[in-house]
Amino acid sequence: MANALSNIGKIPELKNRLLFSLAMLAVYRVGVFVPVPGVDRHAMAADFDGGGFLGMLDMFSGGALKQSSIFALGIMPYITSSIILQLLTVLVPTIDRLNKEGEQGRRKINQYTRYGTVLISLVQGWLIAGQLEANNMVATGGAGLSSGVGFRLLCVLALTTGTVFIMWLGEQITERGIGNGMSLIIYAGIVAGLPNAISQTWSLAKNGQISAVGLITVGLVVLAVIGAIVYFERAQRRIPVQYAKRVVGQQMFQAQNSWLPLKVNSAGVIPPIFASSILIFPATLAGYKWLPGSTGLASFANLLVPGHLLYNTVYVSLIVFFCYFYTAVTFNAVEVADNLKKGGGAVPGVRAGRDTAVYIDTVLSRITFGGAIYIASVCVLPTFLTNTFNVPFFFGGTSLLIVVGVAMDTAAQIESHLITRSYEGFGGEGGPRVRGRNMNDQ
Average pLDDT, consecutive stretches of 10 residues, N- to C-terminus, the chain (442 residues): 65 87 92 83 60 62 78 86 82 81 83 92 84 65 58 89 93 89 87 79 76 76 85 89 70 72 85 80 61 58 70 88 86 86 83 89 92 89 66 65 86 81 59 49 42
The answer to the question of residue 170 being in a domain is yes
The answer to the question of residue 432 being in a domain is no
pTM: 0.77
CA–CA separation, 162 vs 31, rounded Å? 8
The answer to the question of residue 428 being in a domain is no
Residues near 383 by beta carbon (within 8 Å), at least 6 away in sequence: 306, 307, 312, 396, 397
The pLDDT score that the predictor gives to residue 116 is: 93
The answer to the question of residue 192 being in a domain is yes
The pLDDT score that the predictor gives to residue 391 is: 57
Handedness of CA 60, 61, 62, 66 (dihedral sign): negative
Nearest to 169 by CA among 186, 190, 145: 186
Residue 259: φ, ψ to 5°: -135, 145
The pLDDT score that the predictor gives to residue 2 is: 54
The answer to the question of residue 440 being in a domain is no
The pLDDT score that the predictor gives to residue 50 is: 45
Task: Check which CATH number belongs to the domain holding 125 and give it.
Answer: 1.10.3370.10
Q: How many domains does the chain have?
A: 1
The parent domain of residue 251 ranges over 2-420
The answer to the question of residue 429 being in a domain is no
The answer to the question of residue 425 being in a domain is no
The answer to the question of residue 434 being in a domain is no
The pLDDT score that the predictor gives to residue 252 is: 62
